[in-house]
Amino acid sequence: MGDGVSGEHRFIVVLCHHGDMPLSRPEHGARSLIPELTPFITPMLQNHIPHQRTVTSEDLTRARQSMEPLQEAIQTWRTKLEGDCTVVAWMSDLHLHAPRSYGGDIGFYGNQVDCSFNFRLALAELATLAPLPDLLVFGGDVADFGCGCEAPTDEYAEFGRILREALPPGLPTLAISGNHDHGVPTTAAWHETWHSLAPHAWPRSPDADDYYFASQYGGWRIIGLDTREDGPLSDRQRQWLTQELARDAVTPTLVLIHRPFVRVGNWVDDIRLFDRATYDVLDASSAVKAIWSGHTHKAGGWRYRGKKHVVFPSLAYGIPGPCGWGVGMFSRNQLEAVFIKTISAPWYDGVAFKFRQSKRQVQRLPFSDYSTSPLFHPNLLPRDPR
């Protein structure tokens, strides 16, 4: 990083790498060194007001252009699978704020990142796909101020408002809760608020204290679990999961769980899901083919004991990043490929506290062998006998 001074204006110039474009961050009222990025940077000068921008025609043009590689990749897989495939999109860790004053500091990213804009932009990107995915999953941390408690209803209202205005018509959705969404236990009011957000009816939970479910899409069973703020799954939820997997031990199954079992290589690994009992239930089921998570604000893909673990990035900020969403291509009984779409706007690096812009905005997620990775901890999870 280098500092440059011009007249009375001081700039911090970010020297990025790995395909990131250098940006500048204006301080003390200075203008951006890159004029076209000013709309993204100037909100940093206005603390405590997260809502700054609307998606413009220029944003939509960039979004469409950035989606061309993903559209081509999805079509290639549709052709390869002879049309017999299910396409599932994922967006998580939105960390939406209500359009009001929070009466003080709302976090190292909340004062600088317009989380509502990022979510709207991601939906605008997704809307360019033709055909649309078969399903869009919201993978938790829809709200922000819900750690250890129920998130404010006006943060959920912001989520619902954006869905009504920007979700592509007719696109089915599912949602799981994250550690920023509710505490333990949930209340009847939380469940009603949660279901009021659904563009189409979301499955009801069999348990008033948590939100979990099983659903069916495109020949796949989808199980959504509730990992709360911390700790393992409740005994009731784990018992339900065991019974559900025993009830149908054949249908290929995708498990949605906000906090991952696996590590990605950042500090959020320390607050991932430590729940060996639940892991063993999933590990014992040959029907479970893939486990999708968010939470870490960093993407990762692992092959581990016959299943594919996917950890998706955040739409709010990266640790370190980039920010984005993802798409999975499913054949009749396997997760064949996952693509990560970086948002087509500067995204916030929550490690360096800088905005960055990625040149490469679509990439196929590689799957490495988790049990041979330095991140694997053999005292916490079993080795892969293969």
Asked whether residue 77 is domain-assigned, the answer is yes
**Domain containing 81 — which CATH number?**
3.60.21.10
158: left (phi over 0), alpha (psi -120 to 50) or beta: alpha
- Looking at the fold, whether 22 and 149 belong to one and the same domain comes out as no
Domain extent at residue 31: 1-45
- Report pLDDT for 25: 31
Same domain, 185 and 311: yes
CA distances from 380 to 105, 109, 209, 329, 371 (A): 37, 32, 27, 30, 11
* Predicted pLDDT of residue 374: 95
Asked if residue 257 and residue 231 are part of one domain, the reply reads yes
Say which residue the tokens 């940093």 belong to: 44
What is the side-by-side strand order in the sheet with 2-6? 2-6, 9-13, 24-26
Q: How far apart are CA 117 and CA 248, in angstroms?
A: 41
22 located within any domain: yes
Confidence (pTM): 0.86
218 phi, psi to nearest 5 deg = 55, 40
Residue 321 lies in a domain: yes
At 324, is the secondary structure helix, strand, or coil? strand
Do 23 and 82 fall into the same domain?
Answer: no
CB 92, CB 28: distance < 8 Å:
no
According to the 3-state scheme, what is the secondary structure of 297-308?
CCCEEEEECCEE
Q: Are residues 210 and 235 in the same domain?
A: yes
Q: Cα–Cα distance between 274 and 231 in angstroms, integer?
A: 7
**Is residue 380 domain-resident?**
no
Assess if residue 50 is contained within a domain.
Answer: no
Task: Give the count of domains, the chain.
Answer: 2
Walk along the chain (386 residues) and give the pLDDT tens digit of each residue: 333 323 333 323 333 333 333 333 333 232 233 333 334 433 433 444 466 688 999 999 999 999 999 999 999 999 999 878 999 999 999 989 888 877 766 777 777 889 999 999 999 999 999 999 999 999 988 988 667 677 788 888 999 999 999 999 999 999 998 877 787 778 888 889 989 999 888 999 999 889 999 999 989 999 999 987 778 999 999 999 999 999 999 999 999 999 999 999 999 889 898 999 999 999 999 999 999 999 999 999 999 999 999 999 999 999 998 999 999 999 999 999 999 999 999 999 999 988 999 888 999 999 999 999 999 999 999 998 77
Please check whether residue 318 lies inside any domain of the structure: yes
- Beta strands 220-224 and 2-6, pairing class: unpaired
The predicted structure's pLDDT at residue 14: 32
User: Which pLDDT score, from 0 to 100, does residue 144 have?
Assistant: 80
Question: Closest Cα partner for 157 from 171, 168, 172, 143?
Answer: 143
Q: What string of DSSP letters covers 129-163?
A: -SSPPSEEEE-S--BSS-TTSPPPHHHHHHHHHHH
Residue 382 lies in a domain: no
Judgement on whether residues 32 and 78 belong to the same structural domain of the protein: no
Helix-helix angle 235-247:276-283, to 10 degrees: 0
Q: What is the pLDDT of residue 105?
A: 65
Q: Which tokens is 269 given?
A: 């690994």
| Residue 289 shares a structural domain with residue 368 | yes
Of 85, 69, 82, which is closest to residue 335 (Cα–Cα)?
A: 85
User: Cα separation of 157 and 257, whole Å?
Assistant: 23
The C-alpha R_g of the chain, in whole angstroms, comes to 21
Residues 13 and 105 in one domain: no
Cα(36)–Cα(317) distance, integer angstroms: 21
Q: Which residues of 54-74 are buried (b: 16+ CB within 10 A; e: fewer)?
A: ebeeebbebbeebbebbeebb
The pLDDT assigned to 22 comes to 33
Residues 281 and 241 sit within 8 Å (Cβ to Cβ): yes
CA distances from 320 to 35, 38, 345 (A): 25, 22, 16
Q: Looking at the structure, do residues 35 and 166 belong to the same domain, yes or no?
A: no
Give the pair of three-digit tokens for residue 355. Answer: 């905005």
Which H or E run includes 289? strand 288-293
379 lies in a domain?
no
Residue whose entry in the numeric block shows the structure tokens 């870490």 = 296
Distances (CA, A) of 280 to 46, 275, 330, 384: 48, 9, 24, 13
282 and 312 together in one domain = yes
Q: Is 18 found in the same domain as 137? A: no
Q: Taking every pair of C-alpha atoms in the chain, what is the biggest distance, in angstroms?
A: 72
Same domain, 258 and 358: yes
User: CA-CA distance, 129 to 125, in Å (whole number)?
Assistant: 8
